[in-house]
Structure 1
């Protein structure tokens, strides 16, 4: 499965799309399964990471500074430029701003790890990324879209996502790692976690695509401009994030992690915010969903490209782990 994971992920996406478009009755069940799949996927991911080294990772000030620069200085600048094309359409504008201004805190860890990125450093950066986006996304929306946006932002979905998708799986993985030192059943759980990574990612992709594809397909004409912007965003931010990481002389694994962080957005977390918008802005939720679908395809492309092309100039310390 590891050897053929990209093909399996594409199969999951295609099957989810067909299922979501042809069998409407399964969409609510698929939507309800997104967070359980994602939580289990992150539990398996955390279980494979050296969690005892997280504090060391958090102290990597250069990596944290690059993440902050990419996600909260450069991304807003790029988003401002891109949204000039839809500035007159409030629903499109709000949806694009909501999803592109918020960096991902969950499956970016998985995708970056698949491509050889430093998952441990990304996990250590999660609380900082979450705190900064809760504080800065409303401010950037105010600057770009006007004062009316402040009443639309509720931090509760961010906090629920942190608890359900990061804190609970992290604690469960940490306890499992402790038990692995004493009990054979915990060791078996740890070994099975590696085998389940690909099926859990397939389940996540299938549930996201299957539950959301119809919303995008039914409004594709209205969403076409936003979808084009999302494609451009993936390409531009992949290049910019990599360039900035190289400018700060990051090693290969942290550099790849920064590349993925600059591209991936917090769509599964901000979707409840979009759904809570007034009826006249209902298109914003479909905008967020369309970004999710574009991003998933983009991630599969980057998993192939990043290991080939994103490499530090000098990788002499890459194999030594956390410093």
Structure 2
């Protein structure tokens, strides 16, 4: 993506300033959206009148906007840094899934709750991971380059993970085939292909470059609206699953602590520079909550708790990242 911007040779000061302001205040925007959405539905019945196609349409545009900020046309560049790539893939797709499998053992015996936790913790982030890496004094250039690899790897491995962790116990394979795969194709694969085509177009078009820059300002506002609508329509689920949600207040912070310690260990194993090690830590700590949100929303009513789990995780993660920004560069991996 940086190559595209250099090609156009267009001043970026205004776009950078706006994006920086939006991303620095995104935590409060999401929190206000959730609280306002809950309060609206608690005091009225507006949530019942929200059409499903509005949520699906917003999610589709949100994912497309996010994917256009991922350098999908430069996948081969990432594999040149083998040590960083090895640490990133080992942590995200071997170590942290194993830790997640252990964490869900402590959850109540509720299939939908465990599915929600697995969906959100098995998918490494590809958007605000870059933002927090930059703010946390990591290597944002490597973070940007890593995002397409992380995205494609997780989309390919998610069905395998669900089969390994839940398939034999809860017959998730049947649910996956009937509900998750159609949503996966329609709301993830289609925006992914469109984003790839847009980036190819931008290699030879200044208009396309400007359009991609504009879309770069959209993920946070769009996600804020999505969280508001989902919160407004999920009050009944929150009321009925309140006792199930409380264990998540321990589980998700425990995951964040484990991610930081694993990232520090991987930095030593793969002999990475300090900034690159911080990048690994922020990658392990951030999850792709809104990418798996459409998958959870596509499930039948019996699995609706998974949606609440994903919303709770995203909010706890954002506050956790605020702590990461202070702790990681100053205490956990300080400059040598």
TM-score, structure 2 as length reference? 0.72
Q: Is the counterpart of residue 242 in structure 1 residue 259 in structure 2? A: no
What does 1:65-104 align with in structure 2 at a 5 Å threshold? 65-104=86-125
Partners of 2:153 and 2:24 in 1: CA distance: 34
The match for 1:179 is: 205
One of 188, 210, 214 as aligned partner of 2:228:
210
Q: Is the counterpart of residue 258 in structure 1 residue 283 in structure 2? A: no
Contact 2:125 2:288 in 1 (8 A): yes
Q: Which runs of 5+ in 1 are unaligned?
A: 315-323
Partners of 2:170 and 2:195 in 1: CA distance: 37
Partners of 2:23 and 2:205 in 1: CA distance: 33
The match for 2:251 is: 229
Partners of 2:329 and 2:205 in 1: CA distance: 34
The match for 1:319 is: none
Deviations for 1:209-250, whole angstroms, at most 9, x for unmatched residues?
312334375343331112331222122213312331342122
Change (3 A) 1:302 1:76: same
Contact 1:105 1:129 in 2 (8 A): no
Contact 1:58 1:124 in 2 (8 A): no
Q: Is the counterpart of residue 34 in structure 1 residue 59 in structure 2? A: yes
CA RMSD of aligned residues (A): 3.5
One of 108, 119, 122 as aligned partner of 2:144:
119
Change (3 A) 1:289 1:23: same
2:227 is paired with a residue of what secondary structure? Answer: helix
Partners of 1:132 and 1:88 in 2: CA distance: 25
1:172 Cα shift? 1.0
The match for 1:17 is: 34
Change (3 A) 1:114 1:253: same
Contact 1:238 1:262 in 2 (8 A): yes
Q: Which runs of 5+ in 2 are unaligned?
A: 1-17
TM-score, structure 1 as length reference? 0.74
Deviations for 1:52-88, whole angstroms, at most 9, x for unmatched residues?
6531213433333322321232122212322222253
1:33 is paired with a residue of what secondary structure? Answer: helix
2:203 is paired with a residue of what secondary structure? Answer: helix
1:250 is paired with a residue of what secondary structure? Answer: coil
The match for 2:76 is: 55
Deviations for 1:15-70, whole angstroms, at most 9, x for unmatched residues?
31243123344765466423313422442x34xx6x76531213433333322321
Partners of 2:81 and 2:290 in 1: CA distance: 28
Partners of 1:110 and 1:87 in 2: CA distance: 34
Partners of 2:22 and 2:195 in 1: CA distance: 23
Change (3 A) 1:252 1:32: farther
Contact 1:105 1:130 in 2 (8 A): no
Aligned length: 300
2:197 is paired with a residue of what secondary structure? Answer: helix
Stretch of structure 1 that moved more, 99-108 or 129-138: 99-108
Change (3 A) 1:204 1:77: same
Q: Is the counterpart of residue 169 in structure 1 residue 232 in structure 2? A: no
Partners of 1:204 and 1:313 in 2: CA distance: 36
Contact 2:65 2:215 in 1 (8 A): no
Change (3 A) 1:75 1:87: farther
